[in-house]
Structures are given as structure tokens and as C-alpha cells.
């Protein structure tokens, strides 16, 4: 893929002498950005532009061409790609629009492009994109004339939207962030986002990668590639509204919406999710600083008010205020004009005007073992101390690198001075106190968790009982139905998932006998392939304590169901022993279209969808992730022995999550599964699934 970003010769196809020709915009950008290779103009009408010939066909170019940039009507693109193949060109950027986004006719044009590309072994970006940029060699192929003000740097961008990509370039120019490479992926007909990401991860000049995604076609591949990265990856994801696309058939489906899965997947593979331009600018800036290895923060400020705001933000994000040695405080106080400020952390230096001494304070603070990072809040009056402040901030940059600790700088000054600092200082500058602290927390959180995100994922070899479980699934699939409750429980037990056992029966008399064998009290649950949510229509009866009670419950249940679902075929009922004690969770999973098997844990019972309190991961998960999922639940304190109660067996819950992870990886024909409730007993006493709904792929 290097030829896309480092071509020595380019053919721009679609150039004419018409003043509104978009191909001229590409030529303009290549010239303005200083492209160092050869440029060949191609257009069917021919002619001469700036003393150079416009070839009527790419086949007429006498020299070797590394990269073709195509901007012609959609109906012509396949033939042009064929000519490129004949010419020996193996890489192209197709900026033309009018393909799948324009309906069936456009899809047919795409199909022909794919056929031609396969014929010649040709790879191309797009179509329906705005091209690529490489600041290193002046490559710039967008057709909209651009201002090359964005400086050369180490941030590379992959954007599925050309417009969003352009806005990010503007943001980077305003924030003083340097660009290395940019690619607008377009329809991704040939080269996928994950392939660009793989290239940039190995690209030496790229230090940071930003992705803008409108769709994710292969989420597992994206995660696999991202985990290999030693470079920070930031991503925004648009097109997140998923709730209206289908009616959920299980709790899991409604609780694990696509966007929640994206959040979980990004977290698991170390991608930092971005929701707006401000966060993108702040996060890109703060990740350029040395990593913050602990939570002990020092706040040094020229304004007491700003110091208080920063201290509040520090507490909000979970930082600690580092303790300063008394000798350090006393040394600073000697330089004050009046003893009107009691020094502590935050250090309020409002009575100090010696900027050289500011630098000594910052260096001394960085040298403290108990300080992991600094927030420096600086107020500048440009006419009086502008040059001196610029020198101070430049020297802080050097100290931060020398001590390998971050110093996040906030400045309050005139807009012109802020703009100068961002363009020229080559160091992150923040203009909101709270955002400065939040960005530094992102720095800490990223570097503290990235090694865990990179730990290798091992899909266990198939479970020894996989084929036995699969035979149960195939029987139901052949009958075009989901598993009955007792069948689903059997599959769970094959994988070591604890599920309460029961006796399926066909009539009232057998129900009474089964209850007697199990011992009272018992539960009764309807068996019918047409009924999924049993409790909603009276299909569950609990705490039945006598034979007469079982008989009455059976007749009452059938009466209610025939009223609510007259078309439902009733196969019988399941009699189960009643389980008492413990607390309730829901455990579930489903097959996500982009990321494959996904699992969740949440506060269980009948109100699970009301509270929506769940934690999600993409399978397979690790033991650490299983424990993290449980601990993320806000109500989990109830299971840990709150207010003197007995703690629950959360290790058993973690084991269930790991087994469910393998089950869904082994058996993708299980589309959705709920174990609700999972009754969790006191420590060392395990847990038990009381009900399960297993929905199969019946296609």
C-alpha cells in the first residue's frame, strides 16, 4: 500500500480545460502542496495545460505510472481501470461518485469495477471519496482546493466521510496539530478501513491515528488490528441509531444495542472513542505528552479561582492532589511579596511575578517522586509578558520531556496570543480549565489500560461437548423453532453452566406426579414454540406447594394462554423445584452482525429492561474482563456485602460469563440467549440459572 502514499508518478484522469473541471482542483493541490513526483494529466479531449500535454488516454503516457487518480463519470470508471491494468498501473484512487449510493444501476457499475480490478490485480481507494494526502512528499489529491497550512506532523487520518475528514484537517490546523497522512475511504469497495489501519500502524512517520467510521463491516478484524498497535488510535462512530431497525426478541437484543457493542469493542482493543471535535483536539494534544503513570497530580496556578476549578475537576475524575514537602513550600514563600496566600496543592502563585522562578517551581515539582503530572494554569498579559511567557512555556516543554512526566498547560490570554502559541510552540495548549484536567485523565487512563487491551485473545479449542450440543440445536433448527426451556437448559449444562433442572410433562396428571417426585414447592412454566416471554401472559406459576395447587395452576395457566394466544400450540409444561435465597442477575449474549459473539451481565429479574443496567464485552473474554464486567454494574455493591449483608459468590458469576463466552464462540447458530434470572448465592455456594431463552438462527 506504500504506492498509494509514496508514488513517484501520478496520472490524474479526468482533466480538461473547462474552468469548472474538478480535475484541475487535484492538479492545483498537488502543485500547492509541493508534490515531488511526476504529474500526468489525462482527459478525452486532450489539450495543453501549463505547458504540459493532456493525454487522451492513460495508455498514451510514455512513462511508468505508479498511481492513477480518477475523477470521471461513474459509467466510465470500469473502462478506465481496465486501461490502467493494461498500462501496468496497480494502484488507484477513484474519487468519482454515482455508485451504490445511487441505487441498483450504481451497484452494477461497482460490480464491473470489482471484476476489472480482480482481472488485473489492481487495488483502489473509494469510489465516492475525496482522495489521499501525504504531507511528507506533497501528495494531495482532493478535488477541492485546500490551504496547505496544516503543518507536517505525526497524526494520520482514515475517514469514511470526506466532509468530516476535511473538518478534522481544519481542527488540526487551528490546534497546531501536525498531519502526516490522510485517506478518505469512501465506499470501501476494494480497500477496507482495516487495511489502511494496518498500514498506518506499521508506517514509521505516523505516531497517532484517527478513524472516522460511519459503518463497521468487520468489527472483529478491526479489533484484531487495533490490538497490535503500539500507537494510540482514536475513533468516532456515526450512524449509531439502531433501536428502530428491528423488534428485539430477547432482553439481550434490546440491552446490547449496536452502539453499546461499539463502546465495549473499542474499550477492549484500546481504541479511544471520540464524540465531538473538542474531545478529539484535547485528546490528540494530551496524548502527545509523556504518559501519566499514577494519579498524583500537582496544580500550579497564577489564579486562585482557576486553581479551585482545577481542584474540583481533579476530584471529579479521580485524581489525588500530591503532597508537597514543607521545605518546598517554605522556599516558595520566601519569594512572595506579602504572606497573604497559604500555600498548599493547588499552588496559588498569584502573588508571584517572577516567571523564571515559576520554571524552577515546575522543575522542582516534576522531580518529586510523589508527583505523576502537573496542570499549569497560566494567565498572560501579552503586551507586558508575552515574549517571556512564550519562553517559559517552551522551557516547560523541555522539562516535561526530560522528566518524562506530563505538564498540561492552560492559558488565559488574548485570542491572537493563543493562536500564536498553538501554531508555533509545538506543545499542547488548552483554553478550558476543566477540559485540561479531563484530558490529562484520558492520558492516564489510556496508558494505564493499553497493555491490558493488547493482551492476546485466545479462543479456546472447542468444548468437548460441542457436537452433542450442536445436535440439539440442529434438531430444533430442522423443525424451524427455538429450543424449549428444558432443551436450552440441557445445552447450558453440557457447557458447565449451572441451570436448574426440571421435568417436561404433557398434561395435568403428569404435572402433579412430577411435582411429587421433585418435592414441594415447585414452579410451573409453559412449553410452546410460539411463546417467548412466558411471564407476560401467565405462562409462569411459582411457589406451588400442594398437588391441588399444581392442578389448579395448570388449568389456570392454560386458560390464560388460550385467551392471550389462541393460535399457540402448547407442548406441555416444565415442572422445576423452587430455588430460594440469593440475589438475581441476568446473563446473556447474542451474535452481533459486525462483532460476532457479544455477552452481557446485568441486574436481573423482571425489571432488567427498565433499569438497563448492563455491562457488555465482545467474546472471547478473559478472566480479568469477566470480573471487570461484574464490577462495572452500579448496583453490584448489593452483591458484595453492603450494610453487613453476606457477600454473594461473584467468582461463580465470572465463571459463568467465561463459559457463556465459549458457548457463543463455539455455536454461532445461537443468535440470542438470556439466562434470567441467574440466582447468585452466598460466597462459595455458587449460582444457578432459573430460566433461559435461547433463540436460534433458523435461516
Average pLDDT of 555-577?
91
Burial of residue 124 (number of CB atoms within 10 Å: 0-12, 13-18, 19+): buried
181 forms bridges with which residues in the sheet? 134
Tell whether 335 and 431 lie within a shared domain. yes
Q: Is the pLDDT of residue 611 over 80?
A: no
User: What pLDDT score was predicted for residue 459?
Assistant: 64
The rounded distance, in Å, linking the Cα atoms of 441 and 4 is 37
Confidence of residue 452 (pLDDT cuts 50, 70, 90): confident
Q: Which three cell numbers stand for residue 502?
A: 426440571
Q: Is the pLDDT of residue 25 over 60?
A: yes
Residue where one domain finishes, among candidates 129, 145, 166: 129
Confidence of residue 546 (pLDDT cuts 50, 70, 90): very high
Confidence of residue 241 (pLDDT cuts 50, 70, 90): low
Q: Is the pLDDT of residue 457 over 90?
A: no
Q: Which three cell numbers stand for residue 283?
A: 485528546
Q: Which three cell numbers stand for residue 655?
A: 465463571
Q: Is the pLDDT of residue 340 over 50?
A: no
pLDDT tens sequence across 429-438:
999 999 999 9
Average predicted confidence (pLDDT) for the chain: 91
Give CA torsion, residues 523, 527, 532, 537, to 10 deg: -60
User: What pLDDT score was predicted for residue 248?
Assistant: 40
pLDDT tens sequence across 502-516:
999 999 999 999 999
pLDDT tens sequence across 516-532:
999 999 999 999 888 87
Give CA torsion, residues 523, 529, 533, 537, to 10 deg: -70
* Helix, strand counts (H, E) of the chain: 23, 30
The rounded distance, in Å, linking the Cα atoms of 406 and 401 is 8
* Nearest to 518, CA basis, from 541, 494, 500: 500
Q: Is the pLDDT of residue 634 over 90?
A: no
Higher local confidence (pLDDT), 55 or 238: 55
pLDDT tens sequence across 60-108:
999 999 999 999 999 999 999 999 999 999 999 999 999 887 888 889 9
The upper half-sphere exposure of residue 144, i.e. CA atoms within 13 Å in the direction of its Cβ, equals 10
pLDDT tens sequence across 390-417:
999 999 999 999 999 999 999 999 999 9
Strands 407-412 and 429-430: parallel
User: What pLDDT score was predicted for residue 578?
Assistant: 93
Cis previous bond, 677, omega within 30: yes
Tell whether 502 and 534 lie within a shared domain. yes
The rounded distance, in Å, linking the Cα atoms of 584 and 23 is 64
Residue carrying C-alpha cell 474540583: 312
Q: Is the pLDDT of residue 239 over 50?
A: yes
User: What pLDDT score was predicted for residue 251?
Assistant: 47
Tell whether 571 and 588 lie within a shared domain. no
Residue carrying C-alpha cell 485528546: 283
Q: Is the pLDDT of residue 337 over 90?
A: no
Count of structural domains, the chain: 4
Is 364 contained in some domain?
yes
Q: Is the pLDDT of residue 551 over 50?
A: yes
Residue carrying C-alpha cell 488510535: 233
Tell whether 322 and 433 lie within a shared domain. yes
Element (H, E) at 42: strand 38-42
pLDDT tens sequence across 154-179:
999 999 999 999 999 999 999 999 99
Residue where one domain finishes, among candidates 536, 558, 577: 577
What's the CATH number where 313 sits? 3.40.50.261
User: What pLDDT score was predicted for residue 247?
Assistant: 38
* Nearest to 255, CA basis, from 589, 528, 679: 589
Task: Evaluate whether 589 touches 251 at the Cβ level (below 8 Å).
Answer: no
Burial of residue 47 (number of CB atoms within 10 Å: 0-12, 13-18, 19+): middle
Q: Is the pLDDT of residue 642 over 80?
A: no
Angle between helix axes 162-175 and 415-424 (nearest 10 degrees) is 100
pLDDT tens sequence across 352-389:
778 888 899 999 999 999 999 999 999 998 888 889 99
Tell whether 567 and 587 lie within a shared domain. no
The rounded distance, in Å, linking the Cα atoms of 99 and 515 is 65
Tell whether 399 and 301 lie within a shared domain. yes
Tell whether 475 and 597 lie within a shared domain. no
Q: Which three cell numbers stand for residue 500?
A: 436448574
Tell whether 487 and 387 lie within a shared domain. no
User: What pLDDT score was predicted for residue 245?
Assistant: 44
Q: Which three cell numbers stand for residue 288?
A: 502527545
pLDDT tens sequence across 106-154:
899 999 999 999 999 999 999 999 999 999 999 999 999 998 888 999 9
Average pLDDT of 48-52?
90
The rounded distance, in Å, linking the Cα atoms of 105 and 78 is 14
Q: Is the pLDDT of residue 339 over 80?
A: no
The rounded distance, in Å, linking the Cα atoms of 282 and 286 is 6
Is 27 contained in some domain?
yes
What's the CATH number where 119 sits? 3.40.50.720
Q: Is the pLDDT of residue 246 over 80?
A: no
Structure letter (DSSP) for residue 499: B
Residue 23 structural domain = 1-129
Task: Evaluate whether 602 touches 585 at the Cβ level (below 8 Å).
Answer: yes
**pLDDT more than 90, % of the chain:** 75
pLDDT tens sequence across 261-307:
999 999 999 999 998 888 999 999 999 999 999 999 999 999 889 99
Residue where one domain finishes, among candidates 87, 104, 129: 129
Tell whether 618 and 504 lie within a shared domain. no
Amino acid at each position: 500500500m506504500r504506492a498509494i502514499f509514496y508514488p513517484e508518478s501520478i496520472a490524474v484522469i479526468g482533466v480538461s480545460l473547462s474552468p469548472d473541471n474538478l480535475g484541475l482542483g487535484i492538479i492545483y493541490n498537488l502543485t500547492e502542496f509541493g508534490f515531488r513526483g511526476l504529474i500526468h494529466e489525462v482527459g478525452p479531449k486532450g489539450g495543453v495545460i501549463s505547458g504540459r500535454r493532456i493525454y487522451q488516454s492513460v495508455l498514451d503516457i510514455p512513462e511508468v505510472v505508479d498511481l492513477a487518480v480518477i475523477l470521471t463519470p461513474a459509467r466510465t470508471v470500469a473502462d478506465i481501470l481496465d486501461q490502467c491494468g493494461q498500462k501496468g498501473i496497480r494502484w488507484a484512487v477513484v474519487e468519482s461518485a454515482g455508485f451504490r449510493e445511487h441505487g441498483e444501476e450504481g451497484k452494477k457499475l461497482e460490480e464491473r469495477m470489482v471484476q476489472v480490478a480482480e482481472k488485473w490485480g489492481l487495488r483502489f481507494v473509494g469510489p465516492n471519496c475525496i482522495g489521499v494526502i501525504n504531507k511528507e512528499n506533497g501528495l494531495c489529491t482532493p478535488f477541492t482546493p485546500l490551504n496547505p497550512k496544516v503543518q507536517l506532523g505525526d497524526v494520520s487520518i482514515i475517514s469514511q466521510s470526506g466532509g468530516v475528514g476535511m473538518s478534522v484537517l481544519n481542527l488540526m490546523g487551528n490546534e497546531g496539530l501536525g498531519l502526516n497522512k490522510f485517506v478518505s475511504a469512501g465506499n470501501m469497495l476494494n480497500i477496507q478501513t482495516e487495511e489502511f489501519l494496518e498500514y498506518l500502524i506499521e508506517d514509521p512517520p505516523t505516531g497517532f491515528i484517527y478513524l472516522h467510521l460511519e459503518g463497521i463491516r468487520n468489527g472483529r478484524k478491526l479489533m484484531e488490528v487495533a490490538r497490535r498497535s503500539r500507537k494510540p488510535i482514536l475513533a468516532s462512530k456515526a450512524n449509531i441509531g439502531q433501536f428502530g431497525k428491528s423488534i428485539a426478541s430477547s432482553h439481550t437484543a434490546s440491552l446490547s444495542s449496536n452502539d453499546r457493542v461499539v463502546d465495549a469493542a473499542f474499550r477492549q482493543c484500546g481504541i479511544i472513542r471520540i464524540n465531538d471535535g473538542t474531545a478529539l483536539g484535547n485528546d490528540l494534544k494530551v496524548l502527545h505528552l509523556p504518559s501519566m503513570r499514577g494519579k498524583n497530580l500537582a496544580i500550579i496556578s497564577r489564579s486562585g479561582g482557576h486553581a479551585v476549578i482545577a481542584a474540583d475537576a481533579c476530584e471529579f475524575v479521580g485524581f489525588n492532589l500530591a503532597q508537597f514537602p514543607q521545605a518546598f513550600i517554605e522556599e516558595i514563600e520566601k519569594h512572595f511579596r506579602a504572606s497573604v496566600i497559604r500555600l498548599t496543592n493547588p499552588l496559588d502563585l498569584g502573588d508571584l511575578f517572577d516567571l523564571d522562578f515559576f520554571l524552577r517551581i515546575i522543575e522542582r515539582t516534576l522531580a518529586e517522586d510523589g508527583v505523576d503530572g502537573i496542570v499549569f494554569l497560566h494567565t498572560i498579559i501579552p503586551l507586558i509578558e508575552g515574549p517571556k511567557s512564550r519562553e517559559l512555556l517552551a522551557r516547560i516543554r523541555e522539562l516535561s520531556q526530560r522528566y518524562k512526566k506530563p505538564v498540561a498547560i492552560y492559558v488565559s490570554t488574548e485570542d491572537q496570543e493563543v493562536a500564536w502559541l498553538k501554531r508555533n510552540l509545538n506543545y499542547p495548549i488548552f483554553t478550558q480549565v476543566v477540559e485540561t484536567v479531563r484530558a490529562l485523565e484520558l492520558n492516564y487512563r489510556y496508558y494505564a489500560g493499553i497493555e491490558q487491551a493488547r493482551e492476546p485473545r485466545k479462543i479456546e479449542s472447542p468444548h468437548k461437548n460441542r457436537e452433542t450440543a450442536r445436535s440439539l440445536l440442529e434438531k430444533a433448527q430442522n423443525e424451524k423453532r427455538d429450543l424449549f426451556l428444558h432443551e436450552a437448559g440441557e445445552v447450558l449444562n453440557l457447557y458447565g453452566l449451572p441451570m436448574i433442572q426440571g421435568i417436561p410433562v404433557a398434561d395435568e396428571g403428569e404435572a402433579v406426579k412430577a411435582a411429587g417426585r421433585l418435592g414441594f414447592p415447585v414452579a410451573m412454566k409453559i412449553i410452546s414454540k410460539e411463546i417467548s416471554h412466558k411471564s407476560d401472559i401467565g405462562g409462569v406459576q411459582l411457589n406451588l406447594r400442594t398437588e391441588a395447587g399444581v392442578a389448579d395452576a395448570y388449568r389456570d395457566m392454560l386458560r390464560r394462554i388460550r385467551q392471550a394466544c389462541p393460535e399457540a400450540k402448547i407442548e406441555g409444561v416444565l415442572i422445576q423445584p423452587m430455588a430460594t435465597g440469593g440475589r438475581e442477575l441476568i446473563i446473556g449474549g447474542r451474535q452481533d452482525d459486525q462483532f460476532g459473539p457479544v455477552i452481557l451481565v446485568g441486574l436481573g429479574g423482571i425489571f432488567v429492561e427498565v433499569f438497563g443496567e448492563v455491562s457488555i464485552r465482545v467474546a472471547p473474554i478473559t478472566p480479568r474482563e469477566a470480573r471487570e464486567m461484574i464490577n462495572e454494574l452500579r448496583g453490584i455493591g448489593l452483591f458484595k456485602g453492603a450494610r453487613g449483608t453476606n457477600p454473594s459468590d461473584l467468582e461463580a458469576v465470572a465463571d459463568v460469563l467465561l463459559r457463556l463466552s465459549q458457548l457463543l464462540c463455539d455455536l454461532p447458530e445461537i443468535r440470542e440467549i438470556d439466562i434470567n434470572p441467574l440466582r447468585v448465592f452466598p460466597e462459595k455456594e455458587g449460582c444457578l440459572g432459573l430460566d433461559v431463552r435461547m433463540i436460534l438462527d433458523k435461516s
